[in-house]
Amino acid sequence: MSDYTDNGISELVGCPKTIKEAPRRDMKEENRHRRNDLVVISDDGVEFDVFIRQSLDFAEDFSIGLVCHAPDGKRITLVRYNGQHEQSPELFGSHPHFSYHIHQATGDNLAAGRFEKHPGEVTDRYASLDEAIAEFMTTTNIQGWGRHFPQSVPMPLFRQDGER
């Protein structure tokens, strides 16, 4: 990736991707976490890793990330959807790690050589790992994801016309 602009990053995050290497059926336990991984590829051949991690001790502590394999060999974390993962001495603190939050790469960070740690913003787009998986897969435009994560597919409250 040579386009380290915010628009270039947004295009990579949102471009259509297909699953090249499917995730395991069940999460694997490793080092006090559950984990799963998959590899996706864009229509123009850019490859990405997707990682999913969840703490065994605190279910709300999770991370789902999209890592781009740049042509120059760098691995660039473009976006991470995280759960709550730190204890706050202040009950209602504003630090994003105490709430559900999203870290998004910025052009400035990448231009400065920071490829993993990006600013985080609190979100209300999800409130569990399953909701985060659905939101992440939809936002990152991964085609056919629901087949591999059926527990995360949102169920409609009302039937659509023609459904029984």
Residue 157: its pLDDT value, please?
67
Asked if residue 160 belongs to a domain, the reply is no
Mean pLDDT per 10-residue segment, the chain (164 residues):
80 97 94 95 96 94 95 91 68 55 90 78 93 96 93 74 56
User: Which pLDDT value is given to residue 103?
Assistant: 92
* pLDDT at residue 163, as a whole number: 53
Taking a C-beta distance cutoff of 8 angstroms, is the pair 38, 64 a contact?
no
Confirm whether 88 is domain-assigned.
Answer: yes
Q: Which residues of 60-86 are buried (b: 16+ CB within 10 A; e: fewer)?
A: ebbbbbbbbbbeeeeebbbbbbbbbee
- Type of residue at 5: T
Domain count, the chain: 1
Could you tell me if residue 1 is inside a domain? no
In a domain, 158, yes or no: no
Please tell me the predicted confidence (pLDDT) of residue 1. Answer: 45
- SS3 letters for 47-102? EEEEEEEEECCCCCCEEEEEEEECCCCCEEEEEEEECCCCCCCCCCCCCHHHCCEE
Domain that holds residue 72: 6-152
Query: Which amino acid is located at 79 in the chain?
Result: V
Q: Identify whether 157 is part of a domain.
A: no
18 token code pair: 């297909």
- Model pTM? 0.85
pLDDT at 10: 94
pLDDT attached to residue 55: 94
Q: What is the pLDDT of residue 93?
A: 44
Tell me, yes or no, whether 62 lies in a domain: yes
159 belongs to a structural domain: no
